[in-house]
Amino acid sequence: MRVLIIEDDPVLADALSRSLRQARYWVEWVSQGRLADELLSSKQFDLVILDLSLPAMDGLEILRRIRQRGSLMPVLILTARDKLEDRVQGLDLGADDYLTKPYELAELEARIRALLRRGQTAINPQLRIGALTLDSIGHCAALNGTPLELSARELSVLELLMVRAGRVVSKEQISAQLSGLGEEISSNAIEVYVHRLRKKIEVGNVNIRTLRGLGYLMEKAHVN
């Protein structure tokens, strides 16, 4: 699970990042609002932990832009603002939860687990492109109804490409999908996984295009 922490206090952000990594989440941290907005417009996360008082762009504006892009990604506001009007405004703008500082770590982790469960059930578990199908709950894929033999990492890459079908997926996004506890996936390894997937799905009228310098794009193959 990929979590983005948007927090300008480096001490708090570091402590929270360490705790979540120990709980086996993949964590990224940004401290400025505008940088966070740019990151959210180009990368996928399973959860955002959002402070409100940020340099360059206020947290409420970041939240507003997330929802304007049509994203259903869970957002947990974590802030020192404890007034009722702040809570109401944050929730009205689309936050899924609101927790004030100081907080108990056990409560925060419980809220994170609840939001991630809710976010997973909101996603369509059945993905389909042409003759290719993927069940994200059953963790299996099939081509023309025949099960595909895929490794866990191949299945993870395939799911990311299918979720973002028709859009470019960068190697950085694939690496983030595969990484855990700071482990880095090499560019060569990603190329190997994509090559294997191409060979396994090439008869299903589905294509994984390589866009040099950008990444990969999954689409239906053109039939002459």
Domain CATH code at residue 9? 3.40.50.2300
Residue 154 scores a pLDDT above 80: yes
Give yes or no: residues 180 and 197 share one domain.
yes
Give yes or no: residues 13 and 117 share one domain.
yes
CA–CA gap between residue 24 and residue 5 (Å, rounded): 15
Q: Which domain holds residue 101?
A: 2-122
CA–CA gap between residue 212 and residue 12 (Å, rounded): 39
Residue 172 scores a pLDDT above 70: yes
Give yes or no: residues 22 and 111 share one domain.
yes
Give the mean pLDDT of the chain. Answer: 87
Residue 181 scores a pLDDT above 50: no
The pLDDT value recorded for residue 89 is: 93
Domain CATH code at residue 138? 1.10.10.10
Give yes or no: residues 73 and 27 share one domain.
yes
Report the 10 Å Cβ neighbour count for 20: 22
Residue 179 scores a pLDDT above 70: no
Give yes or no: residues 25 and 135 share one domain.
no
Write out the two tokens for 137.
Answer: 């709950």
More confident residue, 223 or 45: 45
Give yes or no: residues 17 and 56 share one domain.
yes
Residue 169 scores a pLDDT above 90: no
Write out the two tokens for 206.
Answer: 């589905």
111-115, 122-126, 153-157 — which is least confidently predicted? 122-126
Enclosing H/E stretch for 12: helix 10-22
List the alpha helices (DSSP H) in 23-69: 33-40, 59-68
Give yes or no: residues 88 and 151 share one domain.
no
Q: Name the domain count of the chain.
A: 2
The pLDDT value recorded for residue 182 is: 44
CA–CA gap between residue 175 and residue 164 (Å, rounded): 15
Give yes or no: residues 50 and 35 share one domain.
yes
Highest-scoring range by mean pLDDT, 46-60, 101-115, 157-171, 199-213:
46-60
Please state whether 205 falls in left (phi above 0), alpha (psi between -120 and 50) or beta.
left
List the alpha helices (DSSP H) in 135-211: 152-163, 171-178, 187-201
Give yes or no: residues 156 and 208 share one domain.
yes
List the alpha helices (DSSP H) in 69-170: 84-92, 105-122, 152-163
